[in-house]
Chain A
Amino acid sequence: MSGEQTTVRLFRFDPARDAAPRYVDHRVPYDEHTTILDLLEHLHEHDEPLAFHRECRMFKCGICAVNVNGRPVLACKERVTQCANPAMLVIEPLACYPVIKDLMVDFTVDLDDRGHLRAFPEGAVEAGAAAAVTAREADVLREYTACIRCGICVEACARVVKNSQEQVNPLHMLDLARLALDSRDQADRVIEALGEGLRGCTECRQCNQVCPVDLDVFELSIVKLRTMAAERGLA
């Protein structure tokens, strides 16, 4: 890294030790290729040890999401020069998951929460339907596999829908829509989606705005499920 310098205002918080989070400023060099993850690696190596998630570094695994200047991004994909204000970067953890330490959040909350959805084709084995997916159906379902489950849409959505009664989890809606379209699944996913807050979506499409793999989250989840609900007179 050489050339320009940016000020990184880094969120630091060890719940076991600190009463409240603190922010520490650092000057870090960057160039046109520098990603947010590069900055974090640089700070981890040259400053105090930092807790943050990263694995694949090629936006496949979806583990490294953070907020930069209030916008949720995938750290390995977002370059400094793409940020709205490259000279000053406030880097914070996702707010919709509990902080383990610094930028590292606990995604297992989502996994635990997902347990009640039974997000697999339920009853498929018993029904002997495992081989029943047609090529056309597979094309529809394949769209959903592009999702890397980074939680960035959940973060963006939680900011818009403040009222927890109306809170929608886009990842849950994607799961339910995918399963509703999967002929192997024997459960009533549309009814489940209504119970999960399908009606609460405000259609702001922030999920689409922030998705790092450019998925049409709104269309694939809310529109698909609401259409199926309407066809059954449940809208």
Chain B
Amino acid sequence: MKNWYDFTNLDPLGPSYPFVRQVIGAMGEKIAADGRVEVGLAPYFFPGGVTIDEQHQSNVGGLFAAGEAAGGLHGAERIASTAMAEAVVFGKRAGREAAAVAMNRRRDPIDGAEVAREVERLHAILAQEGPQGPRAVRRRIQAIMWERVGFIRSEADLLAAQHALEEIAAVDLGRTRIRSKSPTANLDWVEAIENANLVDVGKMLVMAALQRRESRGSHFREDFPEESPTWGKSLALYRDGSAMRCAPAAGGTQ
């Protein structure tokens, strides 16, 4: 299957297109006479992020989030070319709030035992041996998410993805081979640490997509293709002990 981007009539929109043309040129591609250029599809954005209050603070004391790291601004679908405005407007507000908090509060004491546990976790990853490297595991995570959690979703696909991600978490993450044992600039190590995070994020996406039995914005369920009036609300994912949970967010509709 081939996908095409059509540049016809897009010039009036102006300033963002020189960059697109620059990329196409640098890649050695050409815009055809009919204005088309062949492109690949990729998921680029998910309208989710850290839950924050009106002061932009998360439920981790002193941790603030703004822009695309924070959830909720866009509702069910992102509006293109708003990332910079979002970062500038809400970054300024978050920065001001964070500065006020920093002025008036002592830093919480650092829990040495927690730091030691994290250092131990990371070094256990560095020491790992196994049948495959982090790149191979990464490709499997990507394939699962692309095939099962991509543009068109269904309960069967989402359950299959959930199962596959749990298997990677249980089997593969703990026996990913890290070729170099150097703690400096070790890309295998970084990739393996990121893989564990990606599996967590993947499981969060799957859990929320399973629960939302409707279609809305960028979330399309072929088994529930219609938008449902009862689903005009956000879902919040959180940790409960060692379990991941998903429930309608406080604050209700958006």
Chain A residues touching B, range: 20 to 34
Tell me the bound Cα distance from A51 to B180 in angstroms: 11
Contact B135 A45 (CB under 8 A): yes
Within 8 A of B (CB), among A29-61: 32-33, 44-45, 48-52, 58-59
**When A49-B179, A58-B23 are in contact, do A44 and B28 touch as well, CB less than 8 Å?**
no
Contact B26 A16 (CB under 8 A): no
Interface presence of B1 (CB below 8 A): no
Interchain Cβ contacts under 8 Å between A and B, 22 examples: A14-B182, A16-B182, A16-B184, A33-B28, A45-B133, A45-B135, A49-B180, A49-B188, A50-B187, A51-B187, A58-B23, A59-B23, A59-B26, A77-B26, A79-B26, A81-B28, A100-B185, A101-B182, A101-B184, A101-B185, A102-B185, A104-B185
Tell me the bound Cα distance from A139 to B21 in angstroms: 21
Q: Name the distance in Å between B48's Cβ and chain A's nearest Cβ.
A: 21
Interface presence of B186 (CB below 8 A): yes
Interface presence of B27 (CB below 8 A): yes
* Residue picked from B27, B184, B186, B187, most chain A C-beta under 10 Å: B187
Chain B residues in the interface with A (C-beta under 8 A): 23, 26-28, 133, 135, 179-180, 182, 184-188
**When A100-B184, A100-B185 are in contact, do A48 and B179 touch as well, CB less than 8 Å?**
yes
Residues of chain A with a CB closer than 8 A to B28's CB:
32-33, 79, 81
Tell me the bound Cα distance from A215 to B250 in angstroms: 48
What number of A-B contacts does a CB cutoff of 8 Å give? Answer: 38
Tell me the bound Cα distance from A59 to B27 in angstroms: 11
Additional pairs, 10, CB under 8 Å, beyond known A16-B184, A101-B184: A17-B182, A45-B135, A49-B180, A49-B186, A51-B186, A52-B187, A59-B23, A79-B26, A101-B182, A104-B185
Residues of chain A with a CB closer than 8 A to B185's CB:
51, 100-102, 104
Tell me the bound Cα distance from A58 to B187 in angstroms: 20
Closest partner residue, chain B, to A99 (CB atom):
B185
Q: Is the interface of A mostly helix, strand, loop or mixed?
A: loop
- The 8 A-B pairs at the shortest CB distance, nearest first, are namely A51-B185, A101-B185, A49-B180, A49-B179, A104-B185, A100-B185, A77-B26, A49-B188
Residues of chain B with a CB closer than 8 A to A48's CB:
179-180
Tell me the bound Cα distance from A192 to B251 in angstroms: 52
Tell me the bound Cα distance from A58 to B44 in angstroms: 14
Q: Is the interface of B mostly helix, strand, loop or mixed?
A: loop
Residues of chain B with a CB closer than 8 A to A16's CB:
182, 184
Residues of chain B with a CB closer than 8 A to A32's CB:
28
Closest partner residue, chain A, to B19 (CB atom):
A60
Q: Name the distance in Å between A103's Cβ and chain B's nearest Cβ.
A: 10
Tell me the bound Cα distance from A151 to B28 in angstroms: 24
Tell me the bound Cα distance from A45 to B187 in angstroms: 10
Tell me the bound Cα distance from A81 to B26 in angstroms: 12
Tell me the bound Cα distance from A49 to B184 in angstroms: 12
Tell me the bound Cα distance from A48 to B187 in angstroms: 11
**Chain A window 11-25, contacts with chain B (Cβ cutoff 8 Å), 1 for yes, 0 for no:** 000101100000000
Residues of chain B with a CB closer than 8 A to A59's CB:
23, 26
**When A49-B186, A51-B187, A102-B185 are in contact, do A33 and B27 touch as well, CB less than 8 Å?**
yes
Contact B27 A49 (CB under 8 A): no
**Chain A window 54-94, contacts with chain B (Cβ cutoff 8 Å), 1 for yes, 0 for no:** 00001100000000000000000101010000000000000
* Residue picked from B28, B185, B187, most chain A C-beta under 10 Å: B185
Closest partner residue, chain B, to A212 (CB atom):
B26
Residues of chain A with a CB closer than 8 A to B184's CB:
14, 16, 51, 100-101
Tell me the bound Cα distance from A79 to B27 in angstroms: 8
Residues of chain A with a CB closer than 8 A to B27's CB:
33
* Residue picked from A44, A49, A58, A102, most chain B C-beta under 10 Å: A49
Closest partner residue, chain B, to A104 (CB atom):
B185
Residues of chain B with a CB closer than 8 A to A52's CB:
187
Closest partner residue, chain B, to A54 (CB atom):
B187
Tell me the bound Cα distance from A101 to B190 in angstroms: 15
Q: Name the distance in Å between B142's Cβ and chain A's nearest Cβ.
A: 15
**Chain A window 177-193, contacts with chain B (Cβ cutoff 8 Å), 1 for yes, 0 for no:** 00000000000000000
